[in-house]
Structure 1
Amino acid sequence: MADTATPIIEIKGVSKVFQLQDQTINALSDAHLSINKGEFICLIGASGCGKSTLLRIMAGFDQPSSGEALMWGKPIAGPDPSRGMVFQDYALFPWLSVRDNIGFGPASRGLGGAEVKQIVDKFIDLVGLAKFANAYPHQLSGGMKQRVAIARVLANDAELVLMDEPFGALDAMTRERLQDELLEIWERTKLTVVFVTHAVEEAILLANRVVVMTPGPGRIESDNALDLPRPRDVASPEFNAIRRVLSTKLHSHHGKKAA
């Protein structure tokens, strides 16, 4: 880890071009973003604006076509346990129990059985799944599966958690509960979180900075620091004033994609 004066993530002039059969897709164009350790960043924008592409570049799954993606000042060359990804579809191993899913990363790194057990116990408790430690993914609700996915990333010693619409497939009540739990985990662990969402309300509820992206080729339209006390009240005048500003920024680009 570098000193705390260095941003944990720097995106410097990153563009990403994909070839899809005979089509050239400009997914990202000249994106710049700096993220400090311990921040909770939400990326919002319309479908196809490059949010997930930017997240995958931070994870090391994709490389920029041009520009630089750095972690602690060093190029992100590929996936690494320090950067954990949480997907909307959970991506759990169906043949492994909750305990073994969470312990998979530490065990793969060659840690001893007692140490793996200690790590797993810690994160099972953190996400409130001690009673389901021996259950399998097919026996869990969607919300429980997502908690396992989060615990698995944390148990793998991640410093940065990248979340691609992780609550998008959940019902409203489960989504609200997991939003609260994620904030509690973030505040307790001092992790850095980058969270992709379509929902302006979710972004304001969770983030201390909301980054608005334009339709493809994705550019960062604005980077908005939120100075709202926590816990946040979605019905408050202050919350709704921010919602109006961000919604205006988000929707002002609709219909301009071809420009």
Structure 2
Amino acid sequence: MAEIPILDIKHVGKTYTLGDTRIEALRDANLTVKKGEFVCLIGASGCGKSTLLRIVAGFEQPTTGDALMWDKPIQGPAPDRGMVFQDYGLFPWLTVRENIGFGPKSRGRPKSEVAETVERFVNLIGLTRFADAHPHQLSGGMKQRVAIARVLANDAEVVLMDEPFGALDAMTRERLQDELLELWQRTGLTVLFVTHSIEEAIFLADRVVVMEPGPGRIASEHRIELPRPRDVSSPEFNEVRRELGARLHSHHAKKAA
């Protein structure tokens, strides 16, 4: 019997209506993600990456098709799917500890369990010294670590990441990429990650899904066979980058023709 994927996107389309205008943001998207897989979505602006992510998160319902988790329809947001945004989305009035503990506390978990969970994730993201700081006292990289920990502390099985490192400087971005991979390998999480960067997608993903606009759709999928840890300066890495870049640009060239 075939293994049930944790996520199964079947012929999903999304159309928005603005006044008399209908905008088709996503057309006939098909994608399966296995438990523990790290999948990156790449493509130009307007190709439906964030729309697809929001449908999986349960923030929006598809106009056509089905979005399933463990073979059951996704009908709205739930703790088993956590979203990490580029702008962190932390509560500014709460400390690091309180932000991380917000989900378990809201779900009525016992105080001792919430405290234990918070301490575990504060240690996991290396922010013990800043546990009582507020978001405005943290760097961008620290804020993003807290945002990831907050999702994990809420028992997420799937982490949905919408260009989470896009606003960070290059050195912080590279460090957080390494930390995210380490966290992913230690926890067995399933990650669906949106990025504009071909290099970031190849560095992180088991599989890269290329999307194209007009309307947004999945154009192709590419399994990344490079062993981890991956060296972005190696000839093998750069060969994959050239191939994927050529595919991405050929999709866009066809669309423009």
Pairwise same-fold verdict (TM > 0.5): yes
Match of 1:43 in 2: 41
Within a 5 Å distance, the mapping from 1:57-68 to structure 2 comes to 57-68=55-66
Match of 2:54 in 1: 56
2:256 & 2:23 partners in 1: Cα distance? Answer: 13
Residue type at the aligned position of 2:165: F
Aligned pair in 2 of structure 1 residues 4, 166: CA closer, same or farther (>3 Å)? farther
Match of 2:142 in 1: 144
Q: Secondary structure at the match of 2:227?
A: coil
Matched, 1:241 2:239: yes
Residue type at the aligned position of 2:102: F
Residues 43-82 of structure 1: CA distance to partner in whole angstroms, max 9, x if unpaired?
0000000000000000000100000000000000000000
Equivalent position to 1:7, from 5, 8, 28: 5
Q: Which runs of 5+ in 1 are unaligned?
A: none
Q: How many residues matched? A: 257
Structure 1 residue 21: Cα displacement: 3.0
Residue type at the aligned position of 2:187: T
Q: Secondary structure at the match of 1:252?
A: helix
Residue type at the aligned position of 1:118: E
Match of 1:20 in 2: 18
Q: Give the TM-score normalised by structure 1.
A: 0.97
Structure 1 residue 257: Cα displacement: 4.8
Q: Secondary structure at the match of 1:55?
A: helix
Moved more, 249-258 or 189-198: 249-258
Residue type at the aligned position of 1:209: R
Residue type at the aligned position of 2:108: G
1:146 & 1:78 partners in 2: Cα distance? Answer: 24
Residue type at the aligned position of 2:132: N
Within a 5 Å distance, the mapping from 1:19-168 to structure 2 comes to 19-168=17-166
Residues 219-240 of structure 1: CA distance to partner in whole angstroms, max 9, x if unpaired?
1111111111011011111111
Q: Secondary structure at the match of 1:248?
A: helix
1:245 & 1:258 partners in 2: Cα distance? Answer: 20
Q: What RMSD over aligned residues (CA atoms) do the two structures have, in Å?
A: 1.3
Q: Give the TM-score normalised by structure 2.
A: 0.97
> Where do 4+ consecutive residues of structure 1 move more than 4 Å?
255-259
Moved more, 120-129 or 160-169: 120-129
Structure 1 residue 4: Cα displacement: 8.9
Structure 1 residue 22: Cα displacement: 3.0
Identity of aligned residues (%): 71
2:254 & 2:223 partners in 1: Cα distance? Answer: 25
Residue type at the aligned position of 1:210: V
Structure 1 residue 216: Cα displacement: 2.8
1:134 & 1:22 partners in 2: Cα distance? Answer: 51
Structure 1 residue 248: Cα displacement: 1.2
The question of whether the paired residues in 2 share the 8 Å contact of 1:4 and 1:37 is answered with: no
1:167 & 1:154 partners in 2: Cα distance? Answer: 17
Match of 2:252 in 1: 254
The question of whether the paired residues in 2 share the 8 Å contact of 1:215 and 1:253 is answered with: no
